[in-house]
Structure 1
Amino acid sequence: MATLFRWLLRLASTAILLSVVVVGLVYYLASRSLPDYDKDLTVAGIGAEVDIVRDNAAVPHIFAASDEDAYFGLGYAHAQDRLWQMVLMRRTVQGRLSEIFGRRTLETDILMRRLDLYPLATRSVASQTPETLAALRAYSAGVNARITEINEHSLGRGAPEFFLFDAPIAPWQPADSISLVKLMALQLSGQFRDEILRARTSLLLPDPKRLADILPDIPGAGTAALPDYASLFPGLKMPRYAARDPGTSPYKDRLSPFAERGFAGASNAWAAAPARSAGGGTLLANDPHLGFTAPSTWYLARLELSSGGVIGATVPGIPAVMLGRSQKLAWGLTSSYLDDQDLHIEELNPANPQEYRTPDGWKRFQTRRSIVEIRGEAPVTVTLRWTDNGPVLPRTRFELDAITPPGHVVSMNWTALSGNDTSVSGALRLMAAGSVQEALDEATPLYVAPSQMLTLIDREHIAMKLIGAMPLRDPAHQSQGRMPSPGWVEANRWQGVFPDSENPVWTDPDGGIVGNTNNKIIDRPFPAHVSFDWGDSQRVMRWSQLMQGRQVHTRDSFIEAQLDTVSPAARTLLPLIGRDLWFTGEAAPEGTPERQRQRALELLADWNGEMNEHLPEPLIYAAWVRALQERLIRDELGPLADAYSHVEPLFIERVYRDVDGASAWCDVIRSVAVESCSDIARMALDDALVWISERYGTALESLRWGDAHQALHRHMVLGDIPVLRYFTNIRQATSGGDFTLERGRTSGTDPDPFTSVHGATYRGVYDFADPDSSVFITSTGQSGHLLSRHYDDLGTLWRRGEYIPMSLDEDLARAASIGVTRLLRK
């Protein structure tokens, strides 16, 4: 026995020792790729020394003797911190993920090849302005300088992920940066999903009027500029401020870039003129909403250019400050929800399936063969097909087979399918603009895709404009772009794009406030309508209330609005769905479902709609309305109800106000009894309470919304791998919800339907009364390296609603630096 014990002890000790050695070796190899921010490095491709000064949040402040050298420095800094992210995005748009991930990403690769985005980006290089071409080349040289340094000094392949997914890193090229803009356009575009869902739903509903309930049009004329504040309060005198001196200023491929419906993009942005600012300067707040990832999409940086300093949020791989400010101008972006995509049903020639029908007869598809390499398997050859209306999509994706007749295929037209895309030039021109008017005149016409709402301020003026190409449709278009239409009908084909002058714009409105929360912005007749489907109908109500609730605003009041967690949807829906349930019935015995229901209603009756992470009411409310929508639509839609994974407040409001007979949804068509809307509301509340008790217990007062509404910043590759996910994913209990200004879009799917997966990945507030008091933050950290202390340090501040300074003061950046990288000319 003693001998056996000694051998067991030896084996255990050996196993522990081997584990320590393996962990130590893994840590050593992984840590080799941690960037050194304090060093001198001799590189080729620059004209003079470049200083990359890292402040205490690892934000690089890049100082150079020329613009090209500054872009070189940005490329180097991006590659220092986010090389894996950059390579992964490039492979995504190229359709080359399967080379490292195997068959799991094959469908995504094939679909990306069909869209042809990377070849279109390559063609677009020649369309850029000379200044943009110089910037793209210099930026690429900076990225490649970092890749060369990694290879020559054995710096752990540049990131730990490269050890797990071995693949050579090709040199960066200007087309790569342009292709990432197209990739962003894909991630931010979802109109084709709405077309498919509308078509599928219309096929199921026997009463066409019910389609307007479940997929409602946004009512009203649209909101962009708010009315004059003084007109709301007769007799109140508005102070006027003099302009300041300008000198004082089941398996799911998570690597797929195709966003699920409802997750294509969202954002908030608003601006105040000097007359509405307590400090007498203009104000701008912006928080773009994207899917939560680790690291974040955004990377904070500052460049010193010949036109002055520029600081804000960049996207690794793209040499532009996409959101931010210069000395004279600040800009923010929100998703415009422009209908920039159309699906067409194309009829195949029965005698020759290589041809499709056009207004002029049969025409041969444009075709090209493409070989997709697959790790560990034989390559797959795909035949890509294009029609006059765009690329042909596989009917096995996006439920297209449900709406595609036999003998037909589906093609997609989209503004991003351009080989003359100058959007990068527009972004760089915006950085150099010295005023709102200059930006509107010279930068915005260059944008093609993605379409966005651009909010601008200089020291005296404010403006908001829809940027990007607007498709020009025939007024006789059969579906007005709302559903797939026959591609052989001339009226359904695009007739080009509107001139930039037709894009909606608001400049210096009388009310002194402009803003966008993805709401309906304008009510113009088709085809100049912009869109029928908008991203939000709720947040704009709360935003309007907060903006008009005070005469003048400050940086702090704009921050307060960004972090506001009151749900206008909850305030609207609860009185409707609970109107026959509040304070009714006798007291029920403890432990009964009736008593639990009464307790829940008592809590909700005293609640103000604030989706605070520490409160129980948001969880009860969210579970109730989710169960309610499920009961309303499941019997009519069957399995298609799964596609409606999020509550649509306008739908529930229509039902409970019985708009155009919408209360018909309350009756369960498969039951003999005729259920009322009050019956359905009561049953749904019971459903919700049962679900809550199974997940969180029966003590309703002890519930916390934050336990269910955790922001999940998932690593795109390692986030689903056991053990590793605990080191790579970032989880944070958060306030907010689907319809709050501090938006935390929930997953909507079991088993954790209220996990927050989409929200403000960047927040910035810019104040031209005191520009260096401007602030910004991202949702994770600067580094994409999981061993870096800057992997999630900004996320801690973000979760608490805090910001870091956004200053262009060089002395301040150097004084607070944690290191300076000096790039010396070889």
Structure 2
Amino acid sequence: MLGKVFVWLFRIATGLVVLTVIAVALIYWFASRSLPEYDKVIEVPGLSAPVEIVRDNANVPHIFGETDEDVLFGLGYAHAQDRLWQMLTMRWTVQGRLSEVFGLRTLRIDRQMRRLDLYTVARQAIDYQDAESMAKFRAYAAGVNARLEEVNTDALGRGAPELFLFNAPVAPWTPTDTLAMGKLMALQLSGHLSNEVLRARASLALEDPARLPDIMPDAPGAGIAALPEYAALFPGLPRYAQGLGLPDDPLSPFNPTPLAGASNAFAAAPSRSASGGTLLANDPHLGFSAPAIWYLARLELQSGGVIGGTIPGIPSVLTGRSERLGWGLTSSYLDDQDVHIEALNPSNPNEYQTPEGFKEFESRGTIVRIKDGDPVTMTLRRTENGPVLSGNDYNLATITPPGHVATVSWTALDPEDRSLAAGIRLMSAPNITEALSVMEDYTAPSQNLTLVDRDTIAMKMIGRMPARDPAHASQGRMPTQGWLAENRWQGYLPYAENPEFRSPVGGILGNTNNKLVDRPFPNHVSFLWGDTQRVHRWQRLMQSREVHTRDSFIEAQLDTVSFTARSLLPLVGKDLWFTGEAAPEGTPERLRQRALELLAGWNGEMNEHLPEPLIYSAWLRALQHRLIQDELGPLANEFTHVEPVFLERVYRNIDGAGDWCDIQQSSPVETCTDIARMALDDALIWIDETYGDALESLRWGDAHQATHDHPILGEIAVLKHFVNIRQSTSGGDNTLLRGKTKGTLPDPFLNVHGAGYRGVYDFADPNSSVFVTSTGQSGHFLSRHYDDLSQLWRRGEYVPMSLDEELARAANEGITILRPAP
């Protein structure tokens, strides 16, 4: 009897194993059907002549055609071959239709996107595009649709393995979809709206308004403006109020201010270049994902070859070079958003107050369809200032009085937006003068455009600057009464007002999101700048050499020394180092002494293999929280990243900022040294609980792992091990090799935001230029090109950025020929 049971158990186990193998084989077969074939000839409609797509050995497509429209058709086809799922997800996001695919988990994102109504604005913008640009948008869309048709005709696994799990219909691509991608990028790079709300909440929470410039400081330098207390603008609001904040979902395009756009770009004139040609380096910073947002491509236009970083869905090289011109982008931090508090008519809630009296909201209904759920009906409302947002958006409920609603003015909501058309024309610009001219049409998201041609370097902020009244109540820094004329936008400033730098005497230009100009309001550009730290290290590296080379620019791009650590540690720990007698082994005092000994000999290099960066980062994080938690209460948890200028103000007691060190709820009067010591103990306890107390064996890279995660499959138990790319990395929040940390528990130091693209261009020998992305060209996790560039990126290596056609053809991955269908 026992033998029969064993035999049957063996048969069942064998059957289960066989069924599992068959299931895995079927899944692999279906998934592999969507792997692109690069070596083929195919007939497609919409071309005027054949297009050739040569894939080099890094799978970068080199696209050749008779006309620019044909070449952009080829780019659309290549984007859809390699990144179809990414493109569809971005389109569903900007349309507010994620819930049709993913169900209730994304309903909050969809609601917020519908209220902003970016897709409608993109549709309206079609009417403002010129005929030549529209022809290019249509050609690109036709290329995407040619791939979709091929997938359907040849049963190529729906074009992406994700579409087997999420069986959503795929509509043809349109020029509106392309314009909407620009709007989505503007949203992902925006940070002023959330900063305005946080500033208002901090103003309400602080008993002493003089302390607001400490915790939310302006970039050091002249031009700091006094602000009103928010409570004076809207009396009666609670001191502390809890809100929903931003959606916490990997699909969410809404970023808190610390994770809004960033980047580095720097250029050298021939006088500062060892080769005698201009130099340019650029590394735009965005949230990490798998695949990366960036896609490398070369386009052979009628004006010549162009190569660099593209974003699937957008038909242009956004950062890159031609034979004659190089261009790079950094976030400008232009204040292009204003929050308004609108007063409702007490007698008619369908009306809001304006300078001329009450007016009716523009309103229309919309339906959000939900997979496996009932649809949700929404009413979208709009005022003269912009769309009405919900109190659930950006924590707005915490600063909106009863009988009022919040709206936002934002340059990206302007339908007369020709930004993407300007980007297409930039690729054919022969020199800096022409490049600056074509960018006058650019609206949003505002960027600093760094340019080099053969003998000149320049930088100009592109994007429309809102014109504000000098009497604006908060100077655009906090929400204001929307019914007052002085708080409303008054059009835009002339393009000539945008900051511009050309041919500087020193021969070096650059931007690390630092403060560019010091102008009085309202021509000030911004009070919120993305960086007060990296620029110091950049200045030192640039001025440490009389002349630079491509390799010295690479060295600067990959630099991991933290100016912040070097400047703050001696200040914060000045009364802790080398004081007192040696403590017994195993005591908290001894652990603190060991930590201080390590930090005393550290040079500030945020190297992944060292323990000091982890000790330093945990200490400063604990220090800031101890300083602010009693004054800000629950709001302290929303200051997720260390603000170096705040700590410097406190420890130098600038304008009385040392008051933050005394804990209000305790009887003793604590000194700043007391708080520094307690915070170090807090940090060491957290490190012990998380990584152990062997301080010398700690590795920063264990905590600072780059999270190139698939936003959907990366959450599935088994699949996440195949689709997520995790890497130990150097750098940190304030290094030129920027690896912005997550900032929230349980893994506050995960590297979530940084350079998904790096490029360095040498115009003495343009084909010696190099570039790389953080993952790979393919979005298909079964492709070897899904992550083949990621290890190069982690090690600080690059691939050739050459326009040499023969080099591209040598050892190519395949050549696709698109022929016009009869």
Q: Which residue of 1 aligns with 2:350?
A: 354
Match status 1:296 vs 2:292: yes
Question: The residue matched to 2:340 in structure 1 has which SS?
Answer: strand
**Residue 511 (structure 2) aligned to one of 502, 512, 516:** 516
> How is 1:418-497 mapped onto 2 (pairs within 5 angstroms)?
418-441=414-437, 443-497=438-492
How far apart are residue 253 of structure 1 and its match?
2.3
Q: Which residue of 1 aligns with 2:782?
A: 787
How far apart are residue 377 of structure 1 and its match?
1.8
Q: Which residue of 1 aligns with 2:7?
A: 6
CA distance in 2, matches of 1:368, 1:78: 35
Match status 1:778 vs 2:773: yes
CA distance in 2, matches of 1:58, 1:169: 26
Q: Which residue of 2 aligns with 1:370?
A: 366
How far apart are residue 126 of structure 1 and its match?
2.4
**Residue type of the partner of 1:57?**
A
CA distance in 2, matches of 1:682, 1:219: 27
Q: Which residue of 2 aligns with 1:110?
A: 111
CA distance in 2, matches of 1:598, 1:211: 34
Match status 1:276 vs 2:272: yes
1:353-399 per-position Cα deviation (integer Å, ceiling 9, x unaligned): 00000011100000011111111122111100000000000012211
> How is 1:44-55 mapped onto 2 (pairs within 5 angstroms)?
44-55=45-56
CA distance in 2, matches of 1:216, 1:170: 47
Question: The residue matched to 1:416 in structure 2 has which SS?
Answer: helix
Contact 1:89 1:180 in 2 (8 A): yes
User: In structure 2, do the counterparts of structure 1 residues 412 and 251 end up closer, same or farther at CA, with 3 Å as the change threshold?
Assistant: closer
Question: The residue matched to 1:268 in structure 2 has which SS?
Answer: strand
How far apart are residue 125 of structure 1 and its match?
1.5
**Residue type of the partner of 2:291?**
P
Runs of 4 or more consecutive aligned structure 1 residues displaced over 6 Å after TM superposition: none
> How is 1:106-145 mapped onto 2 (pairs within 5 angstroms)?
106-145=107-146
How far apart are residue 221 of structure 1 and its match?
5.8
Contact 2:108 2:247 in 1 (8 A): no
How far apart are residue 102 of structure 1 and its match?
1.0
Contact 1:221 1:522 in 2 (8 A): no
> How is 1:371-770 mapped onto 2 (pairs within 5 angstroms)?
371-441=367-437, 443-770=438-765
Contact 1:221 1:521 in 2 (8 A): no
CA distance in 1, matches of 2:357, 2:663: 48
CA distance in 2, matches of 1:796, 1:280: 32
**Residue type of the partner of 1:775?**
V
CA distance in 1, matches of 2:48, 2:343: 58
**Residue type of the partner of 2:284?**
P
CA distance in 2, matches of 1:617, 1:378: 53
Question: The residue matched to 2:819 in structure 1 has which SS?
Answer: strand
> How is 1:808-819 mapped onto 2 (pairs within 5 angstroms)?
808-819=803-814
Contact 2:772 2:793 in 1 (8 A): yes
Q: Which residue of 1 aligns with 2:101?
A: 100
Match status 1:182 vs 2:183: yes
CA distance in 2, matches of 1:251, 1:315: 24
Further displaced range: 708-717 or 383-392? 708-717
CA distance in 1, matches of 2:160, 2:43: 22
Using the size of structure 1 for normalisation, the TM-score is 0.96
How far apart are residue 105 of structure 1 and its match?
1.1
Unaligned 5+ runs, structure 2: 224-245
Question: The residue matched to 2:715 in structure 1 has which SS?
Answer: coil
CA distance in 2, matches of 1:220, 1:545: 19
Q: Which residue of 2 aligns with 1:90?
A: 91
Q: Which residue of 1 aligns with 2:69?
A: 68
Q: Which residue of 1 aligns with 2:226?
A: none
1:642-685 per-position Cα deviation (integer Å, ceiling 9, x unaligned): 11000000000000000011111001100001110000000111
Question: The residue matched to 2:713 in structure 1 has which SS?
Answer: coil
**Residue type of the partner of 1:311?**
I
Contact 2:449 2:460 in 1 (8 A): yes
Using the size of structure 2 for normalisation, the TM-score is 0.96
Contact 2:109 2:247 in 1 (8 A): no
Question: The residue matched to 1:557 in structure 2 has which SS?
Answer: helix
CA distance in 1, matches of 2:257, 2:538: 24
CA distance in 1, matches of 2:794, 2:130: 40
Question: The residue matched to 1:16 in structure 2 has which SS?
Answer: helix
Q: Which residue of 1 aligns with 2:240?
A: none
**Residue type of the partner of 2:67?**
S
How far apart are residue 419 of structure 1 and its match?
1.1
CA distance in 1, matches of 2:195, 2:44: 50
Question: The residue matched to 2:5 in structure 1 has which SS?
Answer: helix
Question: The residue matched to 2:313 in structure 1 has which SS?
Answer: coil
CA distance in 2, matches of 1:592, 1:494: 61
CA distance in 1, matches of 2:306, 2:72: 12
How far apart are residue 131 of structure 1 and its match?
2.2
CA distance in 1, matches of 2:527, 2:395: 22
Contact 1:281 1:767 in 2 (8 A): yes
CA distance in 1, matches of 2:65, 2:817: 10
How far apart are residue 220 of structure 1 and its match?
2.1
Match status 1:339 vs 2:335: yes
CA distance in 1, matches of 2:818, 2:39: 11
Question: The residue matched to 2:472 in structure 1 has which SS?
Answer: coil
Question: The residue matched to 2:523 in structure 1 has which SS?
Answer: coil
CA distance in 2, matches of 1:353, 1:84: 42
CA distance in 2, matches of 1:793, 1:397: 39
Contact 1:67 1:135 in 2 (8 A): yes
CA distance in 2, matches of 1:166, 1:478: 51
**Residue type of the partner of 2:379?**
T
How far apart are residue 612 of structure 1 and its match?
0.3
Q: Which residue of 2 aligns with 1:328?
A: 324
Q: Which residue of 1 aligns with 2:164?
A: 163
**Residue type of the partner of 1:560?**
E
CA distance in 2, matches of 1:737, 1:726: 25
Contact 1:348 1:356 in 2 (8 A): yes
**Residue type of the partner of 1:424?**
L
**Residue type of the partner of 2:551?**
D
**Residue type of the partner of 1:574?**
L
CA distance in 1, matches of 2:304, 2:669: 70
User: In structure 2, do the counterparts of structure 1 residues 805 and 125 end up closer, same or farther at CA, with 3 Å as the change threshold?
Assistant: same
Match status 1:26 vs 2:27: yes
Contact 1:415 1:449 in 2 (8 A): yes
Unaligned 5+ runs, structure 1: 223-249
**Residue type of the partner of 1:416?**
A
Question: The residue matched to 1:62 in structure 2 has which SS?
Answer: strand
How far apart are residue 129 of structure 1 and its match?
2.5
How far apart are residue 254 of structure 1 and its match?
2.0
CA distance in 1, matches of 2:62, 2:499: 35
Match status 1:17 vs 2:23: no
CA distance in 2, matches of 1:761, 1:298: 7
Contact 1:416 1:449 in 2 (8 A): yes
How far apart are residue 130 of structure 1 and its match?
2.4
CA distance in 1, matches of 2:486, 2:715: 47
Q: Which residue of 2 aligns with 1:231?
A: none
Q: Which residue of 2 aligns with 1:803?
A: 798
Q: Which residue of 2 aligns with 1:207?
A: 208
How far apart are residue 251 of structure 1 and its match?
8.2
Question: The residue matched to 1:278 in structure 2 has which SS?
Answer: coil
